[in-house]
Amino acid sequence: VPDIAFVNEKFMPLGQATVHVEDRGFQFADGVYEAVRTYHGRPFALDEHLARLDLSLAGIKLVAPLSRSELAGIVHEGIRLAGYRESVVYIQITRGVAPRHRRFPTNTKPTVVLTFRECPPVSDTPLGKAIRIVTLDDFRWGWCHIKSVALLASVLAYEQAHAAGADDAVFVEPDGTVTESTAGNLFVVKESRVRTPPLGPKLLAGITRGKFIEAARSIGLTCDELPVTRDDLYAADEVCLTSTTVELVAVKSVDNRPVGGDKAGPVTTRMFQQFRKVHAGA
């Protein structure tokens, strides 16, 4: 079975899925997106993802051409058609096709694209090897709470991290606080207390971030949403990143300074096990 896509009202093989060159997603990054994964074939936290998509759409003043329940129907139908054991569903909505000008076009129908790809089964994705991260001065735009496709800065930061021999980068703001990585939220553990940066315009309100906060608190851990500095990272007992597709990955060094070990530390592991127990039935 080839991967499938949904573009403007119909399903098709992914290989045939195209948009016009004057789609504003292509020429202006004028669009937003979500990525949803399944656990046991069911889309995880779909309502929350679609609610966040609505917030992103509102953030760029774009009215969705589909209701939340219509979109949910397409997600479910695509998962069924694709037939994978586990899927990652990517949803992108742009301001549609119009002769190129930066002003919002009038009477233009937004473009809706979904892709359905296979995701590794839950049993194959336990806590993996820890990664190395570097801190980078944040050069992204100011509205990172909007999940927009204007991702070039994150793409270049990820590459810069790899060029420095690391696996990912976290962004440092002018006030010295760190916010998130190129595609995930950040947690630190110090003396058994968990901390994650508070919500604001320079980080995404990760669905998985919220689930890990809940998981931590439900097993009696203290989990604060408070600023984290670069020095807090250096001094942490454990550091990890969370996202929908990766779930959780432990960090073993920050700017070449060791933090934790080669594997997830004890507190991180407890959070992860609780998250899996509640959400992935594992």
- Residues annotated as part of the active site: 147
One residue of 64, 72, 74, 149 binding a second copy per CB under 8 A: 149
Binding status of residue 247 toward a second copy by CB under 8 A: no
Instruction: Answer for the pair 49, 34: CB distance below 8 angstroms, yes or no.
Output: yes
Binding status of residue 118 toward a second copy by CB under 8 A: no
One residue of 2, 9, 13, 18 binding a second copy per CB under 8 A: 18
Binding status of residue 152 toward a second copy by CB under 8 A: yes
Q: Which of residues 47-106 bind a second copy (CB under 8 A)?
A: 60-61, 90, 92, 94, 99-100, 102-104
**Residue 125 CB neighbours (<10 A):** 17
Binding status of residue 231 toward a second copy by CB under 8 A: no
- Exposure of 138 by Cβ count < 10 A (0-12 exposed, 13-18 middle, 19+ buried)? buried
Q: How far is the C-alpha of 219 from the C-alpha of 214, rounded, in Å? A: 9
Q: How far is the C-alpha of 190 from the C-alpha of 150, rounded, in Å? A: 34
φ/ψ (deg, to 5) at 160: -65, -40
Q: Which of residues 154-183 bind a second copy (CB under 8 A)?
A: 154-156, 158-159, 162, 174, 182-183
Select the span of 69-77, 78-86, 146-154, 257-265 touching a second copy (CB under 8 A). Answer: 146-154
User: CA 267, 272, 275, 276 torsion: positive or negative?
Assistant: negative
Compute the chain's Rg from CA coordinates.
19
Binding residues with a second copy: total (CB under 8 A):
53
Q: How far is the CB of 143 from a second copy (least distance, A)?
A: 6
Q: Three-state SS for 42?
A: strand
Binding site for a second copy (CB under 8 A): 5, 7, 14-15, 17-30, 33, 60-61, 90, 92, 94, 99-100, 102-104, 113, 115, 117, 138-143, 148-156, 158-159, 162, 174, 182-183
